[in-house]
Amino acid sequence: MAIQSKIKILKSPIFNPDMTVKLTPNPSFSLTIRVALPNQTGMLASVTSAISSVGGTFGQIDMIEQSRATTIRDITVNAFSTEHNEQIVEVVKALPDIKVLDVYDRTFNLHRGGKIRVESKISLKRQSDLAMAYTPGVGRICTAIANDPKQVYNLTIKQNTVAIVTDGSAVLGLGNLGPMAALPVMEGKAMLFKEFAGIDAFPICLNTQDTDEIIRTVQNIAPVFGGVNLEDISSPRCFEIEARLRETLDIPIFHDDQHGTAIVSLAALINSLKLVQKSMAEACIVINGAGAAGVAIARLLRKAGAENIIMCDSKGVLSKDRTDMNPEKLEFAVPSGGTLEDAIAGADVFLGVSAPGVLTRSWYVLWLRIALFLQWQIPFPKFSQN
């Protein structure tokens, strides 16, 4: 019965015995294709049929202009990769009598000019408004805060403002892209704070990857902010940065890549283990990836009752006979080493928080006994398409 339930989980729409992953078209790779069609029956159908034939799915279809001879339409299509986007455009271009007028990458268009802005809460319609909001009236507010520093939370933005701090050293699953390339991610996180919690947040992308300099910079800008969200800072520096900032500042410090990922991992695992009728204590859990996310997940799973955790990094199982590990990895070192393949051979649960493409077709027989796969697809899956 247990084996049957495990195999059922593996027979999902994105998982096949030949180890081919069927990635689902999604809005992150969406296009708007503007086409000119002969104003005849069946022309739009020929376009949608061609797009469907290569796996594209549809969003909105809008009529832009129509004459007796021609119809111009915008067709929104979802794909699963940049290459798939190109394939979709080419198959439309190959249709007779159909002209592709333009192609818009909807994700790039959404990001043009940035995604956030600062807006005033107060309208400056009269001279009196200006006199109160700025000088000379603002001087009274400054004096009040100087006399009672706690008033900064009542009289300024500090009460509801978070700094999203990164050095760009571990952007999503893409690696060390630097602070400028990290900015779109930090803008997106600021949007999440505002839209889902009503909290004002602002990206702080630092042009340094020196631990001491990052800590000093955050300490120096802390008077403005009510909290700090550390983001996309590589391991193991992220552990020290968070710990030292917590020791020296009197505002909340939260490293999202550690604790945010750990929280959702625990929630997913608690519910998933119910499906296969296993307890946290008896499950053998393999975590591939021993960076910030992997270590934080393992720590939280231990607190939740997990007793059998095997962690792997790019060199294999974290074991006590290795001499290349930092203190965080040593927390989870087991007596004997081995490869990721060795670890999977005895696993009930696989958690993937590493680089993409680490699991291969040749391991399929081992996979049949694993009850649960939890992979954090940021931005690419751990399963190889091949």
The pLDDT value given to residue 349? 85
Contact 186, 203 (CB under 8 A): yes
SS3 of the chain: the string is CHHHHHHHHHCCCCCCCCCCCCCCCEEEEEEEEEEEEECCCCHHHHHHHHHHHCCCEEEEEEEEEECCCEEEEEEEEEECCHHHHHHHHHHHHCCCCCEEEEEEEHHHHHHCCCCCCCCCCCCCCCHHHHHHHCCCCHHHHHHHHHHCHHHHHHHCHHHHEEEEEECCCCECCCECCCHHHHHHHHHHHHHHHHHHHCCEEEEEECCCCCHHHHHHHHHHHHHHCCEEEECCCCCCHHHHHHHHHHHHCCCCEEEHHHHHHHHHHHHHHHHHHHHCCCCCCCCEEEEECCCHHHHHHHHHHHHCCCCEEEEEECCEECECCCCCCCHHHHCCCECCCCCHHHHHCCCCEEEECCCCCCECHHHHHHHCCCCEEEECCCCCCCECCC
CA proximity to 297, closest of 313, 309, 314: 309
The pLDDT value given to residue 384? 46
The pLDDT value given to residue 77? 96
Cβ neighbour number for residue 376 with a 10 Å cutoff? 19
The pLDDT value given to residue 113? 92
- How many CA atoms within 13 Å lie on the side-chain side of 73? 20
Catalytic residue status for 11: no
Contact 194, 157 (CB under 8 A): no
Can you read off the two tokens belonging to residue 274? 């119910």
Per-residue b/e over 73-87, b at no fewer than 16 CB within 10 Å?
Answer: bbbbbbbbeeebbeb
Q: Provide the sign of the torsion angle of the four alpha carbons 119, 122, 124, 125, taken in this order.
A: positive
Sheet holding 308-313, edge to edge: 316-317, 308-313, 284-288, 349-352, 372-375
> Beta 161-166 vs 200-205: how paired, if at all?
parallel
Q: Which of 134, 274, 303, 320 is catalytic?
A: 134
Residue corresponding to tokens 């290349």: 324
Cβ neighbour number for residue 57 with a 10 Å cutoff? 16
Query: Would you write out the chain's pLDDT as a tens digit for each of its 386 residues?
Result: 232 333 233 333 333 444 444 578 999 899 999 999 999 999 999 999 999 999 999 999 999 999 999 999 999 999 999 999 999 999 999 999 999 999 999 999 999 999 999 889 999 999 999 999 999 999 999 999 999 999 999 999 999 999 999 999 989 878 899 999 999 999 999 999 999 999 999 999 999 999 999 999 999 999 999 999 999 998 889 999 999 999 999 999 999 888 888 998 999 889 888 888 888 998 889 998 888 888 999 999 999 999 999 999 888 899 988 888 888 899 889 988 888 888 888 788 888 887 666 766 655 544 445 555 555 555 555 444 44
Residue corresponding to tokens 């202009």: 65
Non-local CB neighbours of 237 within 8 Å, separated by 6+ positions: 169, 209, 211
The pLDDT value given to residue 360? 65
Non-local CB neighbours of 133 within 8 Å, separated by 6+ positions: 122, 124
Catalytic residue status for 153: no
Can you read off the two tokens belonging to residue 22? 């069927």
Contact 202, 158 (CB under 8 A): no
The pLDDT value given to residue 32? 96
